[in-house]
């Protein structure tokens, strides 16, 4: 009995603007407790909803748990169980000396989930068979990957609808996909089953795949005659190390092609209702990285660009206070509008606005962390009038709920 009292389970869901999705996680925690006979079980969320992982962890400790099992509930094995969750749990555990923890692999084997999965598979197969008749005449216009070639492909910022046509066709015709942490897992759902998938994500504070190892993977598979897609979040040539990989391929004689993607530097502000240029407010834009390659320290190029009308910073949220202070010290007004946008273009997109004097505290209070895009400049003021994505997401959520209620009735 003592072991049961001292053990706790933290059921972690993603978190959503949809009330029913969050309640599903709480109900799962209740059922896990009842079915498993666990005395101490708490729900927690990665995004948007509370309690977050730190808060849920603390609740279990307060109830007497000394060993905590963290269970991801319907979360991506690539992005979440190897990225966000280990980082968040480690930070939470540091606040409680002597508490041990473990993280399970996510399970999605509920009978209703299996039934729905079988239905979706049959639906997809049926649609594919039907589309073959339609697509036969257009096969000549589709892009097909060539053997022994590596394609450095931009996956876009997250929304699957922003993937380019060429990228889609190459994913359908390749043998191997080498993909990053910021690639939306939904892009891989309909990839042929025989395609090899290799995850090489780089997560700040989490698992890291050395760049040399990635280069070797690309070269080795291409030398074996494989058709290789190197899939990167955003655009491969904008802070994506695509140039380094291209150089490695060139030096070994491996043919390659670059397929540009929509960069988060452009798309994420747009999804937050922030235009980067405006005839009355901004005629210049600079895109900077907030973290130096190698050690992750703050880059020191801000002063040279402090007068640019609109500043977009990627990978800088962990240095937000320093960035704001440096820009003010370089002559930028402390009242300059700022925005921090996390998981832009995803349903769980979060946006915090403020000024250079307040943005660090505002973002910290909201729990903002990577991946996030920072926008600095007068154009941020336009968000209140131009924001659209939150409204569309809410409309879709209500439509889905209405459909669910109708189906249940």
Residue 310 lies in a domain: yes
pLDDT score, position 19: 81
In this structure, of 15-24, 185-194, 347-356, the range with the lowest mean pLDDT score is: 15-24
315-347 pLDDT, tens per residue? Answer: 999 999 999 999 999 999 999 999 999 999 998
Rounded average pLDDT over 74-86: 68
Q: What is the mean pLDDT of the chain?
A: 86
- Are residues 257 and 158 part of one domain? yes
Residue 186 lies in a domain: yes
- Are residues 206 and 164 part of one domain? yes
Per DSSP (E only), the strands in 194-260 are: 196-199, 228-232, 256-259
- Are residues 152 and 71 part of one domain? no
pLDDT score, position 59: 96
Over 80: is that where the pLDDT of 300 sits? Answer: no
Number of domains in the chain: 3
- Are residues 240 and 206 part of one domain? yes
Residue 403 lies in a domain: no
Burial string for 363-372 (b: 16+ CB within 10 Å, else e) reads beeeebbbbb
Q: What is the set of active-site residues? A: 180, 202
288 CB-contact burial (10 Å; exposed 0-12 / middle 13-18 / buried 19+): buried
Over 50: is that where the pLDDT of 83 sits? Answer: yes
pLDDT score, position 296: 55
- Are residues 269 and 257 part of one domain? no
Residue-range definition of the domain harbouring residue 360: 265-389
In this structure, of 249-253, 256-260, 298-302, 354-358, the range with the lowest mean pLDDT score is: 298-302
pLDDT score, position 194: 93
Rounded CA separation 322/324 (Å): 5
Percent of all residues in the chain with a pLDDT value above 70, rounded to a whole number: 81
pLDDT score, position 87: 86
Question: Which tokens belong to 308?
Answer: 């640019």
Domain boundary among 76, 103, 130: 103
Please report which confidence band the pLDDT of residue 365 belongs to, taking 50, 70 and 90 as the band edges. very high
- Are residues 273 and 323 part of one domain? yes
Q: How far is CA 13 from CA 48, 73, 212, 367, in A?
A: 11, 5, 34, 16
pLDDT score, position 20: 83
- Are residues 385 and 269 part of one domain? yes
- Are residues 321 and 208 part of one domain? no
Please report which confidence band the pLDDT of residue 141 belongs to, taking 50, 70 and 90 as the band edges. low
The interaxial angle of helices 211-223 and 242-251, nearest 10 deg, is: 50
Residue 149 lies in a domain: yes
- Are residues 226 and 154 part of one domain? yes
Q: Name the β-bridge partners of 374.
A: 313, 340
Please report which confidence band the pLDDT of residue 6 belongs to, taking 50, 70 and 90 as the band edges. confident
Residue 153 sits in a domain whose CATH number is 3.40.1010.10
pLDDT score, position 209: 84
Q: Which of 123-137, 184-198, 391-405: highest mean pLDDT?
A: 184-198
398 CB-contact burial (10 Å; exposed 0-12 / middle 13-18 / buried 19+): exposed
Rounded CA separation 271/363 (Å): 18
């Amino acid at each position: 009995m003592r072991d049961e009292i001292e053990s706790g389970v933290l059921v972690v869901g993603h978190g959503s603007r949809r009330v029913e999705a969050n309640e599903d996680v709480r109900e799962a925690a209740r059922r896990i407790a009842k079915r498993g006979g666990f005395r101490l079980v708490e729900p927690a969320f990665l995004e948007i909803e509370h309690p977050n992982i730190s808060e849920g962890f603390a609740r279990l400790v307060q109830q007497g748990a000394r060993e905590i099992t963290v269970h991801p509930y319907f979360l991506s094995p690539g992005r979440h169980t190897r990225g966000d969750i280990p980082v968040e749990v480690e930070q939470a555990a540091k606040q409680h000396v002597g508490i041990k923890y473990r993280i399970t692999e996510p399970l999605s084997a509920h009978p209703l989930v299996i039934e729905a999965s079988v239905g979706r598979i049959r639906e997809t197969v049926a649609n594919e068979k039907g589309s073959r008749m339609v697509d036969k005449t257009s096969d000549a216009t589709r892009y097909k990957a060539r053997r022994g070639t590596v394609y450095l492909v931009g996956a876009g910022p997250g929304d699957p609808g922003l993937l380019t046509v060429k990228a889609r066709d190459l994913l359908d015709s390749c043998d191997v996909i080498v993909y990053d942490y910021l690639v939306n897992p939904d892009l891989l759902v309909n990839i042929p089953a025989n395609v090899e998938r290799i995850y090489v994500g780089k997560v700040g504070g989490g698992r890291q795949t050395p760049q040399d190892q990635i280069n070797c993977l690309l070269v080795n598979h291409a030398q074996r005659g494989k058709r290789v897609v190197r899939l990167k979040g955003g655009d491969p040539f904008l802070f994506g190390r695509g140039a380094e990989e291209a150089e490695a391929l060139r030096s070994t004689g491996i043919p390659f092609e670059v397929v540009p993607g929509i960069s988060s530097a452009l798309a994420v502000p747009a999804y937050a209702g922030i235009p980067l240029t405006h005839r009355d407010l901004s005629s210049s834009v600079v895109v900077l990285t907030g973290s130096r390659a190698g050690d992750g320290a703050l880059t020191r190029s801000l002063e040279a660009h402090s007068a640019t009308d609109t500043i977009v910073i990627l990978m800088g949220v962990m240095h937000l206070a320093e960035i704001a202070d440096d820009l003010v010290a370089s002559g930028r007004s402390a009242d300059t509008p700022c925005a921090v946008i996390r998981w832009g273009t995803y349903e769980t997109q979060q946006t915090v606005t403020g000024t250079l004097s307040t943005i660090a505290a505002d973002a910290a209070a909201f729990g903002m962390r990577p991946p996030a895009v920072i926008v600095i400049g007068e154009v941020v003021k336009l968000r209140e009038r131009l924001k659209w994505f939150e409204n569309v997401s809410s409309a879709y959520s209500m439509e889905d709920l209405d459909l669910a209620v109708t189906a249940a009735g």
